[in-house]
Amino acid sequence: MSERAGGPAAMKPTVAPGRVKEVTSVSNPIVKDIRALALKKGRDETGLFLAEGLKLVLDAVDAGWKMETLLVSRARLPESELLQKAAARAVASGADLLECSEKVLAAVARRDNPQGAIGVFHRHLTPLDRLDPGADGLLVVLDRVRDPGNLGTVLRTADAAGARGVVLVGDCVDPFSLETVRATMGSIFAVPMARASEEAFLAWRRRFAGLVVGTHMKGDTDYRAPNYAGRPVALVMGNEQAGLGEAMAGACDTLVRIPQVGKADSLNLAVATGLMIFEARRSVLKLAEASR
């Protein structure tokens, strides 16, 4: 699997096939354990997380993420070829298959109309030093992002623009929460993600030879002014409430601002990140579009 795919090492070539079980009661202990993954404590204790929906499950498997268990709708299984394909792949990869009632799926997904498949996967992060922007790639750095929807949207946007990784600095929201995974629409499986303390990030920054652009409400440079092309770039985005911390801002080569009119104090973090990513990738995306 390529670095770009972002997933962990490919699955073992020979694994014992997973077990198949039928589960109809929400009080089944297996269901209880899986439901605990909706909470951060459950995810931290097990190293597992949930991905809902057939598309996400297949995206994860295609990218080489290790599946522990697949829950599928027992009622929808006979009529859905895709569900059957996912179930077969899960069992072949060594994951357990749980054929569940709609009630069980709804309890795990915490939704009235659950999707027909929910995967339980092993969490995977890339060490910061292993994120490779290449000669002219982009890394997105988020300083204490707190909102799961913002983080999910940033991962999705970073994926769409071909960013080479996302770095979560300091006390960030859990990227493996149900809400974040949902908001990524599968991009969590495609973009390598690293987590670092502020101190570790600042040490990495001192070794990073590319351009570090911070976004700041008091930035003195228009966000379109820097030359982002032809070199590795790290875009640093601030916290939703507090903005970019002082030490983080001080570590940037330049602080840019996206011009605004009107009464809004600032842009939403995910919107600002989207504008920045597409500006920084403008020349690369133009070339990619021209060769299509």
- Between residues 68 and 279, which has the closer beta carbon with respect to ligand SAM? 279
Q: Is 157 in the site for ligand SAM (CB under 6 A)?
A: no
Distance CA 80, CA 5 (A): 27
Smallest gap from residue 136 Cβ to ligand SAM (A) = 23
Q: Is 258 in the site for ligand SAM (CB under 6 A)?
A: yes
Q: Is 274 in the site for ligand SAM (CB under 6 A)?
A: no
Tell me, residue by residue from 196 to 225, as one string, x for binding to ligand SAM by CB under 6 A and - for no binding: -------------------x-x-x------
Q: Is 260 in the site for ligand SAM (CB under 6 A)?
A: yes
Ramachandran area for residue 102 (φ above 0: left; ψ -120 to 50: alpha; else beta): alpha
- Between residues 123 and 257, which has the closer beta carbon with respect to ligand SAM? 257
Span interacting with ligand SAM, options 5-13, 29-37, 169-177, 236-244, rule CB under 6 A:
236-244
- Between residues 82 and 217, which has the closer beta carbon with respect to ligand SAM? 217
Q: Is 106 in the site for ligand SAM (CB under 6 A)?
A: no
Q: What is the DSSP string of 219-270?
A: --EETT-S--TTS-EEEEE-BTTTBS-HHHHHT-SEEEE----SS-SS--HH
For 139, counting Cβ atoms within 10 Å of its Cβ (0-12 exposed, 13-18 middle, 19+ buried), the class is buried
Span interacting with ligand SAM, options 5-13, 15-23, 202-210, 258-266, rule CB under 6 A:
258-266
**Rounded to 5 degrees, what angle do the CA atoms 83, 67, 180 make?**
90
Q: Is 237 in the site for ligand SAM (CB under 6 A)?
A: yes
Smallest gap from residue 277 Cβ to ligand SAM (A) = 12
Distance CA 113, CA 57 (A): 17
Q: Compute the half-sphere exposure of residue 157: CA atoms within 13 Å on the CB side of its CA.
A: 21
